Homo-oligomer: A and B are copies of this chain.
């Protein structure tokens, strides 16, 4: 951590700051520049020391040197983490394909869709039973009944089940039926929930919050990893920007950036990341070319009658075209859809 003192800092202020740095368990190293004095505070602490120093009156700014996360870091583990559940795998050479409807709506809908996405090449089935909805007046999900239908779909097709859990006290229930616990974007910083899924040994799909920085995203993963659960997938699903022609802005540079910082697999969600069905296939192909380790795609047998997310859902036929396209791009990149 680099502590930049205000201009005209006196020797006394500098001594005071050295003392404060040492009090925090760091070593102080003073550099006198032409216009500012700077103190390098040396040590590998990550417990709020930066904030403590910034709060000192004589400090102009504090520049962190070390990443705030540890277990998620490539410096801690240089081998890519591969998350495998049933036939689904993401990470390393594998690109895992998760597909299915936004919400579980009926037995016919979920089991029919499961067969169709499997035929097109998916190895995991998505489907919401507990649905976080912006409006209290929208359909809130089939709850446990939906979980049962998902499990039935897995029994029929062998697809791994990916479904969202919204509250700590739901974790046990959802974990009974699901293969992968999804943390939605709205809950990326719901720390009680992160700790609760960290205590299970189920794989976790952690969605990036639409205003989260990369450090915040990796620290959210760190909450899960820190509980001993190493099976975490990071899912980029778009950020909120001024752009209004797409629902969110999907920054694919997250893929190569995260691969330089972390060993965790990176999944792309082009359905939420664009919000419109017609943009999903090109962005899925682009995600593969950018090096992603998996994708999660909304597919519905009849988008115009979907209970939720119809505008961004693909029909099974269009989804089959998407996987065909992605398979070719993956081959061009020396990888393969799992």
Q: Contact between B239 and A242 (Cβ–Cβ < 8 Å)?
A: yes
Q: Interface 1/0s, chain A 269-289, versus B by CB < 8 A?
A: 000011001110011011111
Copies in the complex: 4
Q: For this complex, into which size category does the number of interface residues on chain A fall? A: 35 or more
Q: Contact between A51 and B222 (Cβ–Cβ < 8 Å)?
A: no
For A214, what are the chain B residues with a Cβ–Cβ distance below 8 Å?
Answer: 243, 245
In the assembled complex, the Cα of A308 lies from the Cα of B65 at a distance in Å of 20
Q: Interface 1/0s, chain A 240-269, versus B by CB < 8 A?
A: 111111100111110111001000000000
Q: Contact between A31 and B42 (Cβ–Cβ < 8 Å)?
A: yes
Q: Can you report 23 residue pairs joining A to B where beta carbons are below 8 Å apart?
A: A2-B38, A31-B40, A31-B42, A35-B65, A38-B40, A46-B137, A47-B139, A51-B308, A52-B306, A54-B311, A55-B305, A55-B310, A57-B304, A68-B137, A132-B189, A210-B211, A213-B245, A243-B251, A246-B251, A246-B253, A246-B257, A282-B289, A329-B329
14 further interface pairs, Cβ-Cβ under 8 Å (given A211-B211, A246-B251):
A20-B304, A33-B43, A46-B135, A54-B310, A55-B306, A63-B63, A135-B222, A166-B190, A169-B169, A210-B211, A213-B243, A239-B241, A285-B290, A331-B332
Q: What residues make up the interface of A, taking CB atoms closer than 8 Å to B? A: 2, 4, 7, 20, 29, 31-36, 38, 40, 42-44, 46-48, 51-52, 54-57, 63, 65-66, 68-69, 75, 132-139, 166-170, 186-187, 189-193, 209-211, 213-216, 219, 222-223, 226, 239-246, 249-253, 255-257, 260, 273-274, 277-279, 282-283, 285-291, 303-311, 313, 325, 328-329, 331-333
